[in-house]
Amino acid sequence: MSGFRVANFTVILAALSLAAPAGAADAARGAVLYKECAGCHAAQRSLMGPPHCGVFGRKAGSIEGFAYSDVLREANFVWDDAHLHDFLTFPIMNFPGTKMGFAGMFDENDRSDVIAFLKAERAADSPMCQPGADPAPPPGTTTPGELGGTVPTPTHGPRNDGAAKASQ
């Protein structure tokens, strides 16, 4: 009888491992984590960082007209799982000279999920990467790093000309 239980337990464990592999990347969770990236990266447009459509499988530093750091412009690799993991872990340390001012994504599962999102939702043939799917922002809301963009003059917030201190 105990041999029967062990066999059943083994079959159940095998079925569970096939149904949901341990450590499987979760693109939906990656989409949530990717929101941190969206402040500097758009799907099709260059912002502070280059566009992410087709990033997986693209040669590093290859978007025409984007002002890459020397380390990425001269890199001789395509973005794959290993390079994206390495870069996202600690960009400044792993790629000295990069312009990406991001401290890093230290959790391996988080990186795997973001990479799964990039593969699925930022693949060149994904809906968000089709013409017109990533429209430019309305006039006056241009992101500072956008190619050809300008930085809107702030119309609110503290004054930096010393007048505020002088009036106190």
pLDDT, tens digit (0-9, with 9 covering 90-100), for 107-122: 999 999 999 999 999 9
Task: Assign residue 69 the CATH number of its domain.
Answer: 1.10.760.10
Query: Is residue 110 in a domain?
Result: yes
Query: Is residue 127 in a domain?
Result: yes
Query: Is residue 125 in a domain?
Result: yes
- The burial of 123, by beta-carbon neighbours within 10 Å (0-12 exposed, 13-18 middle, 19 or more buried), is given as middle
Query: pTM (2 decimals)?
Result: 0.68
* Amino acid 138: pLDDT: 59
Domain count of the fold of the chain: 1
Residue with tokens 């002002």: 67
Query: Is residue 150 in a domain?
Result: no
Query: Is residue 98 in a domain?
Result: yes
Query: Is residue 65 in a domain?
Result: yes
d(CA 112, CA 84): 9
Domain residue limits at 85 = 46-131
